Every structure is written in C-alpha cells, then in structure tokens.
Amino acid sequence: MNSNPATTGFTVGGNVAATPGKVVFRDAVMELIQYAPATATLGAEPVLIVPAWIMKYYILDLSSANSLILWLVSQGRTVFLISWRNPGAELHDTSLEDYRLLGIMAAIDAVRAICGDAKIHATGYCLGGTLLSIAAATMARDGDDRLASLSLFAAQTDFTEVGELQLFMTEDQLDVLSDITQAQGYLDSAQLGGILQMPGSNDLVWNGAIRDYLLGEHDASGDLLAWNADGPRLPPRMHIEYLRHLFLHNDLAEGRFRVAGRRLTLHDLDLPMFVVGTERDQVARWRSVFKLHLLNDGELTFVLTSGGHNAGIVSEPGRENRHFRIRVRRAGARTLTPDEWERVTAPRAGSWWLAWSLWLDEHSSGPPGDPPPMGAPGFPPICDAPGPYVLEA
C-alpha cells in the first residue's frame, strides 16, 4: 500500500479487506469474490455488490468493526463482490461497455451458476451504481429477469446537479484530458483526485490543509484514510465515455444512451429500488441522486443519511452521532420534491444498514436455506480473497 503515514498499520488482506472468501472468477477487468458463509443458513437470494472503479473495493470491507461486507455476511447473506482491476496502459482502449459486459454481466452469469435459479439483489456504489443502473435497464429492455432488486448507494443516474465541477467540464476540457490520458495510457490516481477534489474544494482540500499545516492538527491514522491513499488508475477510453455521455451530456437520464445500438430508458426498470444519498456528499449530491424518482415511477425507498460520500456509506450500527431519513414511494404514487421529502421525513438515530437489511428481507422470495457451494463447475475457487487485482499498485 501507499507509504503515506495515514496508512501505517493497515494491510490489505490482513486487517482491511480481510473478510474470508474466494476469488471464483477472473477476466481482464475484474475478479469476482464470493464470501464464505458465517451462519448455518443464508438468505434466499444472493447480494452482488458493484463498487466504483475509481476506488478500490475495500471501502466496503475496512476493519472488522466497520466492514459492510463482514456485517452482511454476519446477517446471514450470500455476498459476492466485484474487485476491479487496477489497469495499466494495456487496457487503454477498454470501454464503458466492456466494463458492463466483462464486469457486471460476467458477474451475474457466475453468481447464477453458483446459486442456481435464485434472483440477485444487485447493489452498486458511486459509479458502480451508475453502471449497474445501465446494466439493469439493459436487462429490463431485453427481457432478462435475473435481478430481484436494485440498491444504489451515492450513485447518480441524472447529472444535472453535479456542483462546481460542471463549470470546468466542457468538450474542450475533455479533449485535453483525452490527449493526456491517451499519451500515458491511463488516468492515474493523482489526476483523478484533482478532478474529484474540485467540487468540494473547501471540504476536501483547503480545510485539511489549514488543519495540517497552519494549526498542526494532523488527521489520525485510520482505515478510511489508508484506503483513500490507495488510489487506482482508469482506462482513458472508458473514463472519457463516462464523462462525455453521462456527466456532460446526461444521455442516460434524457433517453439518448445506447447499449448494443439501442436506446435505454430507466423507466423500463421494474424492480424495487433502495437508493441512498448522503447529506454532505460533494461527489454525488443527494438531490441529484434523488432524481431517480423522476426517471422511474416504480417502488422506490429513498434514504438520506448523515455523512459524506464515503463516511455516509460506511455507517456501521453502533457508531455515535449517526442518523438517517427514510421514506417509501409506492409504485405510481406522487413524487415529492427533494425539499418536500426532507421536510416531511423525520430523522432517525442510528445506521441505515439495519433498514437496508430489513428491506432485503422484505424483498426476498423465501426463507433462509443451506449455503451455496463456494464456486461451481466453470467457476472454481481460484485463490483466497482479496485476490491479486486489489493489490496491484
């Protein structure tokens, strides 16, 4: 891991990214981890988690006290997770469609091979949620009914309210970024960090600099800081496609986004949805995340939780000073504006993880049963989790 002092004492596969499991599939862009069961019986349907490719997956598997993965397994769930590869120049021409096919769709095929006919609770975080929305809408368009539900954490599907970064993102700027990344073969973590820090410069840059250099108040070491220092790279083609078609032109929300030459609409999604926004998110602002209400009139449970883009999602039960709001919009019901929603939805103390677990129970088709095998014919266990992809520097 990075030599930054904040990372001292943390080892991937040791005391972070340490939930027991096996890598059961690997291709050019991802490894699929199946986590070992921790209870005698497991929920009827597996959970497949799709993290963002702009972060290493173990933001969701930090120390044992605040690992969402470990907590889900302890709740009696079969959990699979995509660990994206840290690409070098050899993957410079990898597209957003490659990430859908070789990432999400390949993972769905593997999960179904291992778990049989059970439908999948598909879960996406940040850009992983955006890509999962595209994959789920494509499946709906094409009559593929292998998903049981869709959960999205701090994930945008409409990009009209993205904050200050929109001021800097133009076609000319994309052309410059494309030239830079094509020349070196990838977008590195330092360049990506600069892009992501723009929309929240006060919170992400200047406040930290003032505390550190002027006041001498250094950030304490912690697993979240260690993870933050362990940044990945991105293939330039995929990232430019994302910025141009989703961020800049908002093609997904406005019905212009195409998969396999045909347009998608999120209105086709016919799944119960659990959508989480965070109060202080400067990357995926909660009012932007909320706009999925306007793109689909099905059942949608929306949660607004305390914290920001990362700490609001890593919000384990028992942590002090945490709260969240939750409200269900039934299929076909009137959609509230964000301000109306916030005004009539009272905050609750505690972690939204518990509410999500209950929601998964409510949207599962049967009682718990025996755990599935670790791997299956065609998808044998390759190695222990976390696997080599997340270790690539």
Locate all alpha helices (DSSP H) within the chain, ordered by sequence.
68-74, 96-98, 106-115, 127-141, 165-168, 171-184, 189-197, 201, 207-209, 223-228, 236-241, 286-289, 292-295, 338-344, 352-362
In this prediction, residue 207 carries a pLDDT of: 41
User: Tell me: domain 13-187+233-391, CATH 3.30.1540.20, correct?
Assistant: no
For residue 174 the two structure tokens come to 């994309």
pLDDT tier for residue 287 given thresholds of 50, 70 and 90: very high
Average pLDDT for residues 179-190, to the nearest whole number? 68
In this prediction, residue 209 carries a pLDDT of: 38
Active site residues: 126
Spatial contact of 153 and 124, defined as CB atoms under 8 Å apart: yes
pTM: 0.90
For residue 30, give the nearest of 45, 43, 48, 14 by alpha carbon. Answer: 48
User: Exposure string (b/e) for 157-169, b if CB count within 10 Å is 16 or more?
Assistant: bbbebbeebeeeb
Locate all alpha helices (DSSP H) within 185-250, ordered by sequence.
189-197, 201, 207-209, 223-228, 236-241
Alpha-carbon dihedral 54, 60, 62, 68, rounded to 10 degrees = 170
pLDDT tier for residue 206 given thresholds of 50, 70 and 90: very low
* In the chain, domain spans: 13-187+233-391
Model confidence over 126-174: pLDDT tens digits?
Answer: 999 999 999 999 999 999 999 999 999 999 999 998 755 555 567 777 7
Model confidence over 21-70: pLDDT tens digits?
Answer: 999 999 999 999 999 999 999 998 999 999 999 889 999 999 999 999 99
Distance (Å) of CA 49 to CA 60, 70, 172, 276, 361: 9, 13, 35, 14, 17
Integer Cα distance of 156 and 170 in angstroms: 19
Average pLDDT for residues 313-319, to the nearest whole number? 95
Integer Cα distance of 246 and 169 in angstroms: 12
